[in-house]
Amino acid sequence: MTAYNYRPYIVEALNSLRTQELDKESFDVIVVANFDQAEISRYLCTKWKFIQSKNRWIGPKVSEALKETSGYVVVFLEDDDLFERTKLKVIYDIFKQNQNLGFYRHKVKIINENGKEANLPYNLYNSGKIVIKKSRNIGKQYLLTYTEAVMRPCLPWQSEEKF
């Protein structure tokens, strides 16, 4: 998770990680921020890692976090975003079922400060799901495929859908 200048939504973002349905031993959290850990320490789980960064920009912060990762799958969260309760479980299951999957991007839902869906053009943020499959023939490069299919975990304010 990247954070900048202790934005007002960071506590909600952290709580969206704390309430994940995926077993807590199955994922790690690395928070990279340009402020002191004391400002958010009471919202961090003890096994989460905090990195205080001098970088303002997101790219270098992501790079710092990636150096600390040890997991098979990396998921990104910014301080003004939320994960649905089922997000990490859904992502975990997708990668478990598709061993040659190298990258997965799903559609997003934009919400306002009250947690209600924002009135923005749907295609402004959603261009479709992107899947990169590992190819045995090209080693560490990946084949990019595009599909209109949508894998969208349930949001707390939606009805429960099963995949």
What confidence category does residue 9 fall into, taking pLDDT thresholds of 50, 70 and 90? confident
What confidence category does residue 123 fall into, taking pLDDT thresholds of 50, 70 and 90? low
Give the span between the Cα atoms of 150 and 72, in whole angstroms: 23
Beta sheet of 142-147, edge-to-edge order? 101-105, 129-134, 142-147
Residue 143 phi/psi, 5-degree rounding, is -90, 125
| pTM attached to this predicted model | 0.70
Dihedral sign from CA coordinates of 7, 8, 10, 13: negative
Supply the DSSP symbol for 34: S
pLDDT at 70 over 70: yes
Predicted local distance difference test score (pLDDT) of residue 140: 35
What confidence category does residue 126 fall into, taking pLDDT thresholds of 50, 70 and 90? low
